[in-house]
């Protein structure tokens, strides 16, 4: 994944572009029927149905908390009352539950292999920019995955207000992202990846608000960092965490993990998450003028 | 006016998120959807599209719109509403030279104009056979005014008419009462038509397009007969500083479309990268999501083989552009050409 850039460059051919078009057009037809508009709190946004029973994935800044009534507009213009359930405060992931269907809601499949997505993969976005427009319907955009982090994807499928909570698909029509936010550039469109949803699926579905350092899979150290010259600066250490037990304190500087230097907190966090709980890692730490190495036994993310 | 949820507040968070990423996490610019490596796949098309692209404006450093060269003998099709205000329009050709442009004729309904330049031997556009089988998700490409490479994207929403939202001054009036002289401006839309003409809150509008207005309903009545892009005279009274005196003056206001003005009321175009003055009142449009700007409107819309399918007519917002399908204007354009050549022949 990190070996992107020019290393994976291959010549794009007209055939490849036409193949992308064929696959998008085939996948779009069923996909668009699962994309909905969500009206709540005076704003309009989007969502996508991921089960025949009517579980909807959307963005946390759309629902703004569990247990709220929202109006959902289906692809064909029908409206239903639904209820927001859980969300993940740290990644902008959230869920909404539609009422029991008379038969089955149209839905899309979640791509559960988050790591199968590569930089430069073609993808397509569906959503309701500007809110629901019956004459127009939902809006399709085709582009590429241009950045990948542990919880987010960035694509050059251009998004705007109202798209929030809408769906990013791979070319097979499986869901890989939920539209979250934008920056000014037309290729600066961010999507929550499926990772935070899959990590906290049951908790979010039953209406929990998932917070920092809360449950999840993979290794856990229990500290937050920010980047400074020469390393990562420890900002906070969680109570009863492996980091605290190993004697780490706020203000320590992390120089390396298993002799690997990290340029960004997201890379460090991902390296921890990618290890199993129980694994012992070696940190090189600087406290004031003194350097030392510390062994930390990674733990499991606590349930609460 | 309803606003979507994804907005400026959320995007401030996005900036800090992006800042933490190191370069190796990102796909090289050249490999992105509109990167040079991808556009190499359609290299013959790139050259073809460039050959029939013209850029229009008054000075080279301020291009206003794009045009489509439709004949070897110097006829260019372009968007009317942004061409109309140009006093001395010029055309910049693919070979880098420029020449004076003469407006032959125009059509308000489709917002198209035909321009003639004193040149021959130009490479005209090749039209795709009609009718085009339009389908969501089909690749489209279009020239831009500031690069030799076109932009790539797809047909992104249903083909449909765009209803008229009306022409506006871009002001909110104080409630009017019987017996008032004129109507008082309470608020001016940032960078809207009235703002650009120099009108300010507190100004009392006395006449719009030659009609005396003492009620806001009278202003609405006058505007209902006009179109976005029309330039009208507005007479107004302004209180002078530290005086009880009023000064009457007149200005020219270029009307905007209600849709455009209301969506951009507070200004601060954060992420749209500009929008066209007229974005509605079209009988039949194709919607696409190519990353283009208002100055690229009036250029052709092409398939990947470089055959023209239509003409770009409005940049609406960050994700929305409208194009007119060729079949909606080709018969009219052919007639324009025939008539003008007939006039030249006499």
The two three-digit tokens of residue A47, written as one number? 């969502």
Q: CA triplet B6, B11, B14: central angle to 5 degrees?
A: 125
Q: Are residues A204 and A223 located together in one domain of the fold?
A: no
A138 & A4 share domain: yes
Chains A, B: CB contacts within 8 A come to 220
Q: Are A276 and A256 within one domain?
A: yes
| Count: domains in chain A | 2
Domain limits, chain B: 36-154+281-345, 167-261
Are A145 and A126 part of one and the same domain?
yes
- Segment (H or E) for B103: strand B102-107
Query: What is the pTM for the complete model shown?
Result: 0.79
Nearest residue to A194 via CA among A138, A99, A253, A115:
A115
For position A50, which CATH number holds? 2.40.10.120
Residues A198, A223 share a domain: no
Is A150 at the interface with chain B, CB within 8 A?
Answer: no
Of chain A, the end-to-end C-alpha distance in Å amounts to 32
Of the candidates A161, A121, A172, the one whose C-alpha atom is nearest the C-alpha of residue A143 is A121
Assign domain B36-154+281-345 to a CATH class. mainly beta
- Which member of A140, A147, A156 has the closest CB to residue B33? A156
- Of A185, A210, A235, the residue at which a domain comes to its end is A210
| Residues in chain A within 8 Å Cβ distance of B273 | 186
- A133 and A26, same structural domain? yes
- C-beta atoms of B31 and A144 within 8 A: yes
Domain termination site, one of A164, A180, A210: A210
Q: Which residue of A has its CA nearest to B138?
A: A21
pLDDT digits (tens), chain A, 304 positions: 333 344 444 678 999 999 999 999 999 999 999 999 999 877 889 999 999 999 999 999 999 899 999 999 999 999 999 999 999 988 999 999 999 998 999 999 999 998 899 999 999 999 999 899 999 999 999 999 999 988 999 999 999 989 999 999 999 999 999 999 998 899 999 999 999 999 899 999 999 998 754 344 567 888 888 888 878 889 889 888 899 999 999 999 999 998 888 878 878 887 887 777 778 899 999 998 899 999 998 887 775 4
User: What DSSP designation does A114 have?
Assistant: G
Which DSSP symbol is given to B130? S
Domain B167-261 has CATH 3.20.20.80: no
**Of A147, A181, A210, which marks where a domain is finished?**
A210
What domain range includes position A290?
219-300
What residues of chain B lie within 8 A of the CB of A59, using their CB?
Answer: 5-6
Position of tokens 């354009």? B333
Token pair belonging to B223: 């505007």
Q: Both A251 and A127 in a single domain?
A: no
Which single residue is written with the structure tokens 């998004």?
A159
Residue A175 and residue A43 in one domain = yes
Same-domain check for residues A250 and A291: yes
Cβ neighbours of residue B99 under 8 Å, at least 6 residues apart? Answer: B90, B91, B93, B117, B118, B119
A167 and A104 within one domain = yes
- Asked if A295 contacts A280 with a C-beta cutoff of 8 angstroms, the reply is yes
E-assigned strand segments in chain A: 35-40, 43-49, 55-59, 69-73, 79-88, 93-97, 122-127, 139-148, 152-155, 167-169, 175-182, 189-193, 209-210, 219-220, 223-228, 231-237, 253-257, 280-287, 290-297, 299-300
């Amino acid at each position: 994944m990190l070996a992107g850039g020019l290393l994976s460059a291959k010549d794009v051919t007209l055939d490849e572009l036409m193949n992308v078009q064929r696959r998008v057009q085939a996948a779009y037809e069923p996909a668009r029927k699962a994309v909905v508009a969500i009206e709540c709190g005076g704003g309009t946004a989007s969502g996508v149905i991921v089960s025949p029973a009517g579980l909807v994935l959307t963005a946390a800044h759309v629902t703004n908390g569990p247990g709220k009534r929202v109006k959902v507009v289906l692809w064909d213009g029908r409206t239903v009352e639904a209820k927001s359930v859980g969300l993940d405060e740290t990644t902008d992931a959230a869920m909404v539950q539609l009422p029991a269907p008379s038969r089955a809601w149209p839905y899309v499949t979640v791509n559960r292999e988050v790591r199968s997505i590569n930089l430069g993969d073609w993808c397509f976005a569906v959503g309701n920019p500007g809110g629901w427009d019956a004459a127009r319907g939902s809006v399709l955009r085709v582009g590429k995955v241009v950045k990948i982090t542990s919880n987010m994807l960035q694509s050059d499928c251009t998004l705007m207000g109202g798209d929030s909570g809408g769906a990013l698909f791979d070319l097979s029509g499986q869901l890989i992202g939920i539209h979250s936010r934008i920056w000014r550039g037309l290729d600066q469109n961010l999507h929550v990846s499926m990772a935070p949803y899959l990590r906290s699926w049951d908790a979010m579905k039953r209406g929990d608000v998932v917070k920092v350092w809360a449950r999840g899979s993979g290794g856990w150290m229990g500290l937050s960092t920010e980047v400074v010259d020469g390393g990562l600066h420890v900002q906070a250490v969680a109570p009863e965490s492996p980091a605290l037990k190993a004697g780490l304190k706020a203000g320590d500087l992390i120089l390396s993990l298993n002799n690997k230097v990290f340029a960004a907190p997201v890379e460090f966090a991902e390296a921890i998450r990618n290890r199993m709980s129980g694994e012992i890692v070696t940190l090189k730490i600087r406290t004031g003028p003194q350097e030392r190495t510390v062994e930390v036994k990674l733990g499991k993310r606590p349930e609460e | 006016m309803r606003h979507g949820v994804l907005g400026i507040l959320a995007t401030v968070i996005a900036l800090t998120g992006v800042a933490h990423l190191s370069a190796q996490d990102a796909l090289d610019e050249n490999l992105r959807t509109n990167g040079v490596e991808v556009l190499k796949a359609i290299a013959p098309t790139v050259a073809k599209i460039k050959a029939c692209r013209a850029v229009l404006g008054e000075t080279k450093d301020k291009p206003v719109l794009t045009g489509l060269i439709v004949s070897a003998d110097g006829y260019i099709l372009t968007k009317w509403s942004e061409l109309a205000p140009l006093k001395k329009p010029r055309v910049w050709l693919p070979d880098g030279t420029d020449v004076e442009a003469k407006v032959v004729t125009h059509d308000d309904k489709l917002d198209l104009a035909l321009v003639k330049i004193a040149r021959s031997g130009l490479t005209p556009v090749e039209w795709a056979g009609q009718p085009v089988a339009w389908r969501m998700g089909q690749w489209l490409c279009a020239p831009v005014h500031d690069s030799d490479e076109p932009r790539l994207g797809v047909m992104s929403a249903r083909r449909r008419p765009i209803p008229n939202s009306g022409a506006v001054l871009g002001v909110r009036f104080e409630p009017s009462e019987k017996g008032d002289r004129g109507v008082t401006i309470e608020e001016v839309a940032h960078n809207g038509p009235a703002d650009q003409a120099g009108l300010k809150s507190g100004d009392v509008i006395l006449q719009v397009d030659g009609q005396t207005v003492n009620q806001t309903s009278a202003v609405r009545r006058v505007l209902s007969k006009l179109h976005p892009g029309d330039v009208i005279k507005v007479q107004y009274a302004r209180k002078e500083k530290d005086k009880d005196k009023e000064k009457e003056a007149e200005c020219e206001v270029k009307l905007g479309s209600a849709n455009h003005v209301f969506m951009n009321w507070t200004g601060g175009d954060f992420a749209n990268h500009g929008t066209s003055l007229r974005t509605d009142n079209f009988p039949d449009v194709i919607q696409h999501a190519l990353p283009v700007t208002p100055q690229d409107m009036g250029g052709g819309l092409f398939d990947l083989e470089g055959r023209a399918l239509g003409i770009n007519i409005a940049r609406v917002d960050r994700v929305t552009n409208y194009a007119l399908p060729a079949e909606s204007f080709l018969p009219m354009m052919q007639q324009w050409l025939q008539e003008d050549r007939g006039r030249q022949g006499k």
